[in-house]
Amino acid sequence: MPSQEAVMEKEIANVSIGARFVSDGDCGTVKYIGEVPPTTGVWLGVEWDIPDRGKHDGSHQGTRYFQCRSATSGSFLRPKKADFGIDLTKALSDRYVPDDLETGGIDTSTMYVQDEKNKVTVVEMVGASMIAKKQSSFENLQEIDLRETKVCRTGSEDFLKKLPNITELNISKNLIPSWEEVSKMTRQMPKLILLNLSENRLVLPSNPVSLATAFSRLQDLVLNNMDLDWEQVMVCAPMWPQLRKLFLCYNKIAAINRVQADLFQHLELLNLESNQITDWQQVNLLGHLPKLQSLLLAYNPLSCIAFHDVPVGQKTALFPHLHMLSISHCKVNEWDSFNELDKLQRLKDLRYKKNPILDGIQLERAEERVIAKIAGLTHMNRCQVFEDDRKGAELVYLKTFCADWLKSGGSREPAKSKPSQQFLEDHPRYEKLVQLYGAAEDSEMRNQTSALKDTLIVMKIRCPDDPSKRELTKKLPGGMEVTKLKSLLHRLYKIDVSGQKLSYISHKAGQEIELDNDLRPINYFSIETGDTLLVRW
């Protein structure tokens, strides 16, 4: 019978510090191998990718065995409970070669499909044999998808030489431990253009420049959800000399800090969605990238946008070729930020949904204001801005702020018009619009003000099922859709939107009426000033 030491050696023979594994569907990294007294036998000290998956920070009974990023990401695990994966060769064979293709035993004429009611349907597969053979001929493969197949290492390089035409490789959510291991794979794919490594945890390369030849033709790189900060991206960047598109969503990027002048010289699209960037001046550090055309920053806690290199009304030297910007679901809370965006030389496509500055504003009015503030927009929130849209928006803008313009020193007589500096900073395009269309007349101003007042409905808001939630009084635009109202109530009362049930009581009839269509404006339901909105969930 083998000794305990022999069993221990066998269990850890092929396991090393830094190895990646999966256990019960969750991935992690081996940080320690050995005994953990007072127990006997070998243990693996592991750090889970999910921070709260573990039980400790690498310490046990006063002894530290390894370091963790969080207080609850560490565990001890018996080796038999960890699956350390397979090599790329086996994953390719499992995915792309039918088990009995060579023997001819595969049924290529029919396929049996079972639906939710357990009914079996026979489907004829015309040409299935030919398709299977084509897929299993690696020389013909151009796209490989091996997501979540437990790939951990390269395997036979001679086998990988059968992949000369691969242009796209998806090896996301696998067990690959390092960039060096990735480079062993990609060196055998000389035509590789797109690489998806998302949801892996890779050790940074010790000499990134030496790996550049393994990614020499790479243009699109996807590194989503890899626990990266910007400094780590900068360490890796020399490996990607021809990169056109870089996706870094769901990482931990809070600061840019630096961008070396010789890196990302060909980058056209950068996606930084769902990170932790709060300061626009950090974003501006990307402004020298010579070919950057699209920048996606949605779901970052950015509250304001500013280009301090030029005053209001002039064009910034930053981002000279940027034509698409996404700031949806950020924290932008000032209209000045949209004034600043007009400083960009080539901005044409802006996506800005779900920012605090839009709360309580009718969608149409918000769109008109954005169009009027940014002269070059041709697309907004994925919709085209036509010439008639622009003209209408700019005319409404002129009428809306004409009274403020006159009060600040503006005049319908050009020689006498001297609006204040503050007004010009708040409305930097207003003077140009006056020159283009002429100043609004008094009658137009009165009609505009009257129309605005008519759209506001003063209502009480009450939560009858929870007296602890205070009653509020709000002025709501009559054109506000019910779905927008629910979002507002979520911010006011922290009530989940999907669970809200809204109705109102008419102050005239005393009748309770349900708001049963989320896409209708609230004035569709004949709500009037003095009515009471009831919120239930």
Q: Are residues 430 and 500 in the same domain?
A: no
Q: Who wins on pLDDT, 139 or 9? A: 139
In a domain, 193, yes or no: no
| Model confidence at 23: pLDDT above 90 | yes
Please write the tens of the pLDDT for every residue from 436-446: 999 988 766 64
Which of these ranges, 143-157, 170-184, 196-210, has the smallest mean pLDDT?
143-157
Q: Are residues 461 and 526 in the same domain?
A: yes
In a domain, 420, yes or no: yes
Q: Who wins on pLDDT, 491 or 336? A: 336
Please write the tens of the pLDDT for every residue from 479-510: 788 888 988 888 888 888 888 999 999 887 78
Confidence category of residue 3, pLDDT binned at 50, 70, 90: low
What CA–CA distance (Å, rounded) separates 322 from 336? Answer: 20
Range of the domain at 447: 392-453
Residue 125 has a pLDDT of: 47
In a domain, 49, yes or no: yes
Residue 104 has a pLDDT of: 42
Last residue of a domain, one of 81, 116, 144: 81
Q: Are residues 402 and 474 in the same domain?
A: no
Last residue of a domain, one of 52, 81, 110: 81
- 471: DSSP letter: P
Q: Are residues 460 and 434 in the same domain?
A: no
Q: Are residues 415 and 431 in the same domain?
A: yes
C-beta of residue 165 within 8 angstroms of C-beta of residue 189: no
Please write the tens of the pLDDT for every residue from 423-433: 999 999 999 99
In a domain, 304, yes or no: no
Residue 102 has a pLDDT of: 45
Q: How many helices (H) and strands (E) does the chain have?
A: 15, 26
Confidence category of residue 2, pLDDT binned at 50, 70, 90: low
Of 68, 75, 84, whose CA–CA distance to 11 is shortest? 84
Q: For the chain, what is the mean pLDDT? A: 88
Give the Å distances, CA to CA, from 28 to 64, 177, 275, 517.
19, 10, 22, 46
Return the CATH number at 67.
2.30.30.190
pTM: 0.75
Residue 11 has a pLDDT of: 55
Residue 504: both structure tokens together: 């109102």
Q: Who wins on pLDDT, 207 or 447? A: 207
Which of these ranges, 92-106, 276-290, 456-470, 495-509, has the smallest mean pLDDT?
92-106
In a domain, 431, yes or no: yes
Which of these ranges, 170-179, 366-375, 465-474, has the smallest mean pLDDT?
465-474
Q: Are residues 484 and 531 in the same domain?
A: yes
Last residue of a domain, one of 61, 81, 101: 81
In a domain, 57, yes or no: yes
Q: Are residues 398 and 460 in the same domain?
A: no
Give the Å distances, CA to CA, from 1 to 4, 41, 80, 203.
9, 16, 19, 40
In a domain, 327, yes or no: no
Report the 10 Å Cβ neighbour count for 281. Answer: 11
Q: Are residues 430 and 472 in the same domain?
A: no
Q: Are residues 30 and 56 in the same domain?
A: yes
Please write the tens of the pLDDT for every residue from 63-98: 999 999 899 999 999 999 999 999 999 999 888 876
In a domain, 219, yes or no: no
Q: Are residues 29 and 68 in the same domain?
A: yes
Looking at the 3D structure of the chain, how many domains does it have?
3
Return the CATH number at 491.
3.10.20.90
- 92: DSSP letter: H
Task: Summarize the confidence of residues 347-372 as an average pLDDT.
Answer: 92
Q: Are residues 428 and 476 in the same domain?
A: no
Please write the tens of the pLDDT for every residue from 214-272: 999 999 999 999 999 999 999 999 999 999 999 999 999 999 988 888 999 999 999 99
| Model confidence at 277: pLDDT above 90 | yes
pLDDT exceeding 90 applies to what percent of the chain? 67
